[in-house]
């Protein structure tokens, strides 16, 4: 099996796996005052520092969550005020789009979706038009798109937001652990992430909240004072420790790893497009995450191609929307037809991807697309 679905979940890093196993062999609630509890709390503090180091922030600005979906919900529910704009884009992850629609349900005119071009780039110039008529509010734009890998220039968005007195949130789920992050340089107030995207365990994530941001606590879970009132419930000690270990491992040699993965991604694209010259790569080629490529195979249903190459793990789009009867909202917003969106596969690579996997996947993709096309042609032939 060649694994090309890192955007859904990355293989757990050896350092994170070892940390989780060790933590699960210990007992202790991090809120308890006895020795085992204090030891658990100490290890949580270490993980908080490890994650803060990856983000370039203070440990006290980290709120642990169950993942980026919860972090996105916390962020937008805290930042939005009725009567002020909530500005986002139509290519955001459903965890942002659906939350944005939910919090603006009582004032739907407050929700503003910025235009997106055929390369998947959000029109940040439109922010000036939005804030010409409004002040305050919140801008929520993803750092990197989960389907195409296209990057957003958050510094441009933050500058426009600051001039209008608006807060800035970014869903950085696909960005963290793959490219260097400095929250001060990005100038964001809130940042969401999930551990399993950069080699940590599933079911744990975090929300960065800039110190001094004028945000009330609007917890989704109540019944305890954990995480400074942002989230009630016993801390997932093993998951948090695993996330910290993954963050520390990801931070080591991040630039070199990004270069290596970019080269592997480019080689996969070269091999596939050479063998199948009518296929198309979606998204701005020079402004993408290192290990993501979205490829359309015109006239060939993506699900049939995936079924024809069971030894390659890839995705039709966001794993969070798998099984949905509608095509990718991201690709439709970029102007692709429904037929082309249904013929698109996302391949996402990461820290453990090898040259051998690239060569194997390229052969498997070429063979699968050719087989499916032949089968379709035969089915449509003379009867």
Nearest CA among 20, 21, 40, 19 for reference residue 29: 40
Q: Any residues with CB less than 8 A from the CB of 61 and at least 6 apart, and which?
A: 52, 183, 208, 209, 210, 211
Q: Any residues with CB less than 8 A from the CB of 12 and at least 6 apart, and which?
A: 20, 196, 199, 200, 201, 242, 246
Separation of alpha carbons 305 and 307, rounded Å: 5
Separation of alpha carbons 31 and 64, rounded Å: 14
Catalytic residue at 57?
no
What's the Cα-to-Cα distance from 305 to each of 202, 293, 329, rounded to whole Å?
A: 28, 16, 20
Nearest CA among 214, 191, 281 for reference residue 79: 214
Q: Any residues with CB less than 8 A from the CB of 304 and at least 6 apart, and which?
A: 372, 375
Nearest CA among 121, 192, 120, 209 for reference residue 157: 121
Separation of alpha carbons 253 and 246, rounded Å: 13
What 3-state class would DSSP assign to 357?
helix
CB neighbour class for 221 (10 Å; exposed up to 12, middle 13-18, buried from 19):
middle
What 3-state class would DSSP assign to 248?
helix
Separation of alpha carbons 138 and 135, rounded Å: 10
Catalytic residue among 24, 220, 307, 320: 320
H-run or E-run covering 24: helix 14-24
Question: Are 133 and 158 within 8 A, CB to CB?
Answer: no
Nearest CA among 160, 169, 153 for reference residue 209: 169
Separation of alpha carbons 11 and 201, rounded Å: 9
Q: What amino acid positions are annotated as catalytic residues? A: 320
């Amino acid at each position: 099996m060649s694994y090309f679905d890192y955007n859904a979940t990355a293989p757990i890093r050896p350092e994170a796996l070892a940390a989780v196993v060790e933590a699960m062999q210990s007992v202790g609630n991090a809120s308890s005052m006895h020795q085992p509890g204090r030891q658990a709390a100490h290890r949580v503090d270490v993980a908080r520092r490890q994650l803060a180091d990856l983000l370039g922030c203070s440990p006290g600005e980290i709120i642990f969550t169950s993942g980026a979906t919860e972090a996105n919900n916390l962020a937008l529910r805290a930042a939005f005020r009725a009567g002020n704009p909530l500005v986002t884009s139509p290519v955001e992850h459903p965890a942002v789009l659906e939350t944005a629609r939910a919090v603006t349900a009582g004032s739907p005119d407050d929700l503003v979706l910025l235009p997106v071009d055929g390369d998947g780039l959000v029109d940040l110039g439109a922010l000036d038009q939005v804030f010409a008529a409004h002040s305050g509010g919140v801008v929520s734009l993803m750092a990197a798109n989960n389907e195409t890998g296209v990057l957003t220039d958050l510094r441009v968005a933050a500058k426009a937001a600051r001039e209008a007195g608006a807060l800035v949130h970014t869903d950085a789920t696909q960005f963290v652990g793959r490219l260097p992050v400095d929250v001060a340089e990005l100038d964001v107030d809130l940042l969401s992430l999930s551990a399993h995207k950069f080699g940590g365990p599933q079911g744990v994530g975090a929300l960065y909240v800039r110190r001094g941001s004028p945000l009330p606590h609007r917890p989704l879970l109540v019944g305890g004072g954990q995480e400074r009132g942002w989230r009630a419930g016993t801390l997932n000690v093993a998951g948090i420790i695993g996330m910290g270990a993954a963050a520390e491992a990801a931070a080591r040699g991040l630039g070199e790893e990004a270069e290596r993965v970019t080269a592997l991604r480019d080689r996969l694209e070269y091999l596939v497009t050479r063998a199948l010259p009518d296929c198309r790569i979606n998204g701005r080629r020079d402004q993408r995450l290192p290990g993501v490529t979205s490829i359309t195979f015109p006239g060939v249903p993506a699900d049939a191609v995936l079924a024809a190459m069971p030894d390659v793990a890839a995705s039709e789009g966001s794993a969070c929307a798998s099984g949905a009867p509608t095509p990718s909202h991201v690709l439709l917003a970029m102007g692709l037809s429904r037929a082309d969106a249904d013929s698109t596969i996302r391949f996402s690579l990461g820290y453990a991807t090898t040259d051998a996997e690239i060569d194997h996947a390229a052969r498997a993709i070429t063979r699968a697309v050719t087989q499916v096309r032949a089968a379709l042609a035969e089915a449509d032939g003379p009867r």
